[in-house]
Amino acid sequence: MLIGAASYGVLSSVVKLAYGEGFTAGEVTGSQVLTGCLAMWLLSIPQWRRFRQLSGATVAKMIGSGTFTGMTGIFYYQSLQKLDASFAVLLLFQFVWMGLAAEWLFLRRRPGRMQIAGAVVVGGGTLLASGLLGGSQPAYDGLGIMLGLLAAVSYTLSMYVSGRVATEVPATLRSACILTGATILTLMVYPPHFIWNGSLLAGLWLWALVLGLFGMILPPYLFAKGAPKLNTGLTTILGSVELPVVMLCSVWLLREHADGWQWLGVAIILMGIGVSEWKGRFPFRRKNKASAT
């Protein structure tokens, strides 16, 4: 889980670097998902016999769930064209309170006091990390903010669905089907002109390999292997390591400025995630204590 979340954290800075080389959002997003999808199907070759045994409905559900992954990439990479990487990821991390809202809406589970408190803490941390209070505000763009929030919505739905669809299917095969859905949607939005317009030979192939590895191969596979062994609360907490990794990469690779207030905001956001999921971890601790006695 930690390696998968850290891999996601590298993406935004790599995407910004690719934009700096002159490649468009469509070229970057399309080449990434296509590379990742092809690689994952190759990795799942030992599971192809199992694939033939799956029902059409199961395959359709996995492919359909991948559309949320595709939407997350489309919205998030578009927001990166208009926002600093460190600010765009703050919008993406609003999935914390959106996840609570999704459980309330779909499962009729009202959030507890600790979860509400955690969401409030995350909101305060986001305010600090945005730079509004420290005087180091990044360049804001209304459309970019809307795209970042849409990415958070689709990311929330992706996490919600991924934990409930075809969990009995092997991780590589399941990831391949999910990425197929993401690829189909992405290439419908961004037709793959990069295949024949010379962009690949101009250097896009390298960015596609890097982004495909860190965005489409490692995280889905590692999450599929690790998440079923952990409770939801611990999974969310481990996944939040993406935020400090993004901040570090944006400072080191992109030379974006981050002052003490913003780092304090990041720390508060991580604390808010821990607070909101404390109730999910407590039974795990109590169970271990009981088993030890």
Give the pLDDT confidence score for residue 84 in this predicted structure. Answer: 83
141 CB burial (10 A radius; 0-12, 13-18, 19+) = middle
| Positive/negative CA dihedral, 17, 22, 26, 30 | negative
Number of domains in the chain: 1
Q: How many angstroms separate the CA atoms of 148 and 261, rounded?
A: 22
In order, the DSSP letters of 202-270 are IIIHHHHHHHIIIIIIHHHHHHHHHGGGS-HHHHHHHHTTHHHHHHHHHHHTT-----HHHHHHHHHHH
Q: Is 207 exposed, middle or buried (0-12, 13-18, 19+ CB in 10 A)?
A: buried
Alpha-carbon distance of 185 to 142, in angstroms, equals 25
What's the farthest any 2 CA atoms get from each other in the chain? 67
Q: What is the pLDDT of residue 253?
A: 85
pLDDT score, position 52: 87
Count of positions (residues) in the chain? 293
Predicted TM-score of the model (pTM): 0.80
Can you say whether residue 141 is alpha, beta or left, with left for phi > 0 and alpha for psi between -120 and 50 degrees? Answer: beta
The confidence score (pLDDT) of residue 119 equals: 74
User: What is the residue range of 204's domain?
Assistant: 2-292
Consecutive 10-residue runs of the chain (293 residues): their mean pLDDT? 82 92 94 93 89 91 92 92 84 80 78 76 76 60 91 86 79 88 95 92 94 84 70 62 82 81 81 67 42 42
Instruction: Enumerate the H helices of the chain as residue ranges.
Output: 2-20, 25-43, 48-53, 56-80, 85-92, 95-107, 113-129, 142-162, 171-189, 205-211, 218-226, 232-239, 242-252, 260-276, 278-292
The reported pLDDT for the residue numbered 14 is 92
- Residue 180: per-residue pLDDT: 94
Contacts of 194 (CB under 8 A, 6+ apart): 26, 27, 30, 31, 200, 204
Q: CA distances (Å), 271 to each of 45, 98, 268, 276, in order? A: 41, 17, 5, 9
Please say whether the dihedral angle defined by the alpha carbons of residues 141, 241, 162 and 180, taken in this order, is positive or negative: positive
